[in-house]
Chains A and B, each alone.
Chain A
Amino acid sequence: VTDHIMTDHIAQALWIGYLEDALDPGERTGVDRHLSLCPECSRLLADFEDCEAALASEAAVLRRELGMSEESAVFLAGEALSVLHRQAAVAAAALRRFTVYEGVRILQSVLDPIYGPAIVERVFRMAAITCSASVADGLEAHQWPEFAATLDLAASEIWGGAAGRAVRRLTAHLPVERAT
């Protein structure tokens, strides 16, 4: 189609600029002048314009053929929002802190299999008494730091230093709600 463009007629770089409407006014005028005088280049321009129009028209057909109805788009958008809500709920749950009650139960569930529920229960009661509370009645959030520290000391005394350190690490990393 265009083997001769580069030599005798409009150069390819000029064609690209012309078709993309990226030439400066002087260059564009020069190309227009050449087109008015050169039947070959003007035929080539017509070919390009026909090709452009056909591509645009057939691309529109393809878009219609593959398109999705607005109802489907709205439905999918609703589904996507549900996904976002679910993810937000999971993230919020991950950030939630345990209540003091839950914290006590978690510690018990870790220590019971190692030292036995009876002695663990007794140690927990002692630690609660130290901070003027009762495990049975439940601890207040503000009592948790003192309870945890007492439990750590009691574990060290009764089961040894390793147990005390383990309890200290457990209570330090357990995300339990604190009094505000």
Chain B
Amino acid sequence: VIGRFLDRPAEQSFYDLFVALSPKLVAYFRRHGRPLDQAEELAQDVLLRVYRQVGTLRDRALFRPWVYRIARNAFLESLRVARRDLKLVGLDDAEIGAACVSSDSPLLFLEWMKWLSPEEREIMTLRYVDGFECAEIGAALELPTGTVQWKIFNAKRKLAPRVAKDARRTP
């Protein structure tokens, strides 16, 4: 779907791309505490930006990180607007990793992420929830691939005892 869109960014290929990517984007915004209606609105906004700006993408292999950066910026922008309304300042990128989702059942992944730094949370979420390769995470967050691998390894070291404990609790 991505390849078809990049080969020929037209209405039909955009429609297919939209159907494929919008659930992931909605999930991304919901992970960051946005209610469903706002998440859908933000996802639509992101994909419309993708359609308009796809001509500026230089390396098609970095499409996913590029979309992620657009989504991340859209989220930060929405936070800034919300903060401005509340007359608060001092937003920094650390907030990007703050996940907040209400659910009837405990979401272990989110519980585990609380043990990590905001940057580690973002990296681990991109890796496991969004299925990004380390190189894609590096491109999205402007980090060397080796640094990403290093951070994933350290995050797993932190999480291993916690994960093992939760596994023992789970019948």
Interface residues of A (CB under 8 A from B): 1-2, 12, 15-16, 19-20, 22, 47-48, 50-52, 54-56, 58-59, 61-63, 65-68, 70, 72-74, 76-81, 83-84
Q: Is B153 positioned at the interface, with any CB of A under 8 Å from its CB?
A: yes
Q: Given the complex of chains A and B, what is the CA–CA distance between A118 and B63 in angstroms?
A: 64
The verdict on A84 contacting B44 (CB below 8 Å), with A66-B31, A67-B27 known, is no
The verdict on A61 contacting B101 (CB below 8 Å), with A68-B40, A73-B19 known, is no
**Which residues 146-171 of B sit at the A interface, judged by CB distance below 8 A?**
149-150, 153, 156-157, 159-161, 163-164, 166-167
| The 5 nearest A-B residue pairs measured at CB | A59-B128, A77-B18, A66-B27, A58-B109, A68-B23
Collect the chain A residues with CB atoms within 8 Å of residue B30's CB: 66
**Chain B interface mostly:** helix
The verdict on A15 contacting B153 (CB below 8 Å), with A66-B26, A68-B23, A77-B19 known, is yes
| Contact between A70 and B161, CB atoms less than 8 A apart | no
Collect the chain B residues with CB atoms within 8 Å of residue A77's CB: 15, 18-19, 22
New A-B contacts (17) at CB < 8 Å, excluding given A47-B164, A58-B107: A22-B149, A50-B163, A51-B160, A51-B164, A55-B112, A61-B109, A65-B103, A66-B26, A68-B22, A68-B26, A68-B27, A70-B23, A72-B40, A73-B18, A73-B22, A74-B19, A84-B48
Collect the chain B residues with CB atoms within 8 Å of residue A16's CB: 149-150, 153
Smallest Cβ distance from A95 to chain B, in angstroms?
Answer: 17
Q: Which residue of B lies closest to A75 (CB)?
A: B40
Q: Which residue of A lies closest to B11 (CB)?
A: A81
Q: Is B137 positioned at the interface, with any CB of A under 8 Å from its CB?
A: no
Q: Is B67 positioned at the interface, with any CB of A under 8 Å from its CB?
A: no
Q: Is B140 positioned at the interface, with any CB of A under 8 Å from its CB?
A: no
Interface residues of B (CB under 8 A from A): 11, 14-15, 18-20, 22-23, 26-27, 30-31, 36, 40, 43-44, 47-48, 51, 101, 103, 105, 107-110, 112, 124-125, 128-129, 134, 149-150, 153, 156-157, 159-161, 163-164, 166-167
- Interchain pairs with CB closer than 8 A, number: 114
**18 examples of A-B residue contacts, CB within 8 angstroms:** A47-B160, A50-B160, A55-B124, A58-B107, A58-B108, A65-B101, A65-B103, A65-B107, A66-B26, A66-B31, A68-B26, A68-B36, A70-B23, A76-B18, A77-B19, A80-B14, A81-B14, A84-B11
Smallest Cβ distance from A159 to chain B, in angstroms?
Answer: 47
Q: Given the complex of chains A and B, what is the CA–CA distance between A22 and B27 in angstroms?
A: 31
Which one of A12, A22, A55, A74 has the greatest number of beta carbons of chain B within 10 Å?
Answer: A55
| Contact between B18 and A56, CB atoms less than 8 A apart | no
Smallest Cβ distance from A52 to chain B, in angstroms?
Answer: 7
Q: Which residue of A lies closest to B18 (CB)?
A: A77
| Contact between A54 and B134, CB atoms less than 8 A apart | no
Q: Which residue of B lies closest to A64 (CB)?
A: B27
Q: Given the complex of chains A and B, what is the CA–CA distance between A22 and B135 in angstroms?
A: 13
